[in-house]
Amino acid sequence: MPDLLQIGGITDTMRERLEAAFTIHQTNRYNAEEITHIVTNGHDGVKPELMASLPNLKMISGYGVGYDAVDADEAARRGIIVTHTPNVLNEEVATTAVLLMLMCYREALRDDAHARSGDWEAKGGAPLTRSADNQTIGILGLGRIGQAIVDKLAPWSPTILYHTRTKKDVPYTYYDNLVAMAHDCDVLVCITPGGPSTNKIVNAEVIEALGPTGTLINVARGSVVDEAAMIEALSTGKLGWAGLDVFEAEPHVPPALRALPNTVLLPHVGSATVETRAAMGALTVDNLLQHLKDGTVISAVPECADL
């Protein structure tokens, strides 16, 4: 049986299906010459030195849509096919984005603490919050998930703005300038890929343009936002609220951020439901098994589409 290197965890269902077709090796014990396939995830990816050390690698199957932790250009150059799991997580990540936005607007954490602590009975009702209806929402990265977020927001009657590198054929207002869009919106939702082209694209200038009544939602990658600038702005009132599922050096969450009441912090759970993770696991394995069968895959990353 061909040899598969497993990086990070896999579910029991994935293991059962993979064991029927591959000999599975863990990262601490394998023969580099023998490895032809890798299964990994968006966080761990494949380190450049590891990829370079595997002369017979043919395919990398990633569990997750983001593949910034794999050098896909180098893989394509070597004829190694990289796959990911687009689409099957669109709705879940969109739900997470909407959840974070609603929790910021309606102060769900503060009010939960108010009810739970007994303060309601002892001190009276909670202060008013802000309505999430009729807001202007800027989407940074209007791809598969960005569009799902827009669709899921419809009941709150938003005005949608978006910023991408190329204008799309959509009925929303396009901004080629991110600072200008941040200035014009109430909520900025980050849902681009990670990697060098989006590194700290949400910088101090963008954050300050979003402003004291603005809300920053990040369900993309921690690298997309200048975290230090965001913390400074949230601490000094230059930015209103932040709802974050991703962090620059996750799982580390800076103590200064943890202490801020105007934030909602989630431990990178955008796609983390039983149903969606099962679908992602199935596609991750389907890609590997199809490659074994006929050399093709279901969902190659764009860099490897022509291999």
Angle at 303 between CA 301 and CA 304, to 5 degrees: 70
The active-site residue out of 221, 227, 277, 303 is 221
Which tokens hold the place of 222?
Answer: 């921690």
Structure tokens at 145: 């998930």
Residue span binding ligand A2R (CB under 6 A) among the ranges 53-61, 97-105, 158-166, 248-256: 158-166
Q: Which is nearer to ligand A2R, 80 or 142 (CB)?
A: 142
- Do the Cβ atoms of 126 and 144 come closer than 8 Å? no
Catalytic status, residue 74: no
CA pair distance 90, 149, nearest whole angstrom: 8
What count of other Cβ atoms lies within 10 Å of the Cβ of residue 119? 14
Distance in angstroms (rounded) separating the CA atoms of residues 32 and 6:
13
Q: Mention every residue, 6+ apart, whose C-beta is less than 8 A from residue 199.
A: 223, 224
Catalytic residue check, 291: no
Tokens of 12: 């029991």
Region of 8-16, 194-202, 261-269, 278-286 interacting with ligand A2R (CB under 6 A): 194-202
**Beta carbon of residue 257, minimum distance to ligand A2R (angstroms, whole number):** 20
Helix residue ranges per DSSP H, the chain: 12-19, 48-52, 72-78, 90-105, 108-117, 119-123, 144-153, 178-184, 204-210, 227-236, 255-258, 274-294
Question: Which residue, 164 or 215, has its beta carbon nearer to ligand A2R?
Answer: 164
Judged by CB under 6 A, the stretch of 55-63, 127-135, 143-151, 225-233 that binds ligand A2R is 143-151
DSSP state of 20: T
Q: Which is nearer to ligand A2R, 53 or 197 (CB)?
A: 197
Q: Is 143 in the site for ligand A2R (CB under 6 A)?
A: yes
Answer yes or no whether residue 218 interacts with ligand A2R by CB under 6 A.
no
Q: Check residue 65 for interaction with ligand A2R (CB under 6 A).
A: yes
How far apart (Å, rounded) are the C-alpha atoms in residues 96 and 4?
33
Among 193, 204, 205, 292, binds ligand A2R (CB under 6 A): 193
Residue 141 in contact with ligand A2R, rule: CB under 6 A: yes
- Residue 266 in contact with ligand A2R, rule: CB under 6 A: no
The distance between the two most distant Cα atoms of the chain, rounded to a whole number of Å, is 69
99 belongs to the binding site for ligand A2R (CB under 6 A): no
Choices 8-16, 20-28, 123-131, 136-144; region in contact with ligand A2R by CB under 6 A:
136-144
Strand pairing report for 159-163 and 81-83: unpaired
With respect to ligand A2R, which residue has the nearer C-beta, 35 or 304?
A: 304
Within 39-58, the residues that bind ligand A2R by CB under 6 A are: none
Contact with ligand A2R (CB under 6 A) among 146, 222, 240, 243: 146
Alpha-carbon distance of 163 to 29, in angstroms, equals 45
Q: Which of 237, 164, 235, 238 is nearest to 201 (CA)?
A: 164
Question: Which residue in the list 17, 37, 163, 268 is annotated as catalytic?
Answer: 268
Instruction: By CB under 6 A, name the one of 85, 198, 263, 299 that touches ligand A2R.
Output: 198
268 catalytic? Reply is yes
Tell whether residue 192 is a contact of ligand A2R (CB under 6 A). yes
Catalytic site positions = 221, 250, 268
- Which residues would be at the binding site for ligand A2R (CB under 6 A)? 65-66, 86, 93, 141-146, 163-166, 191-194, 197-198, 220-221, 270
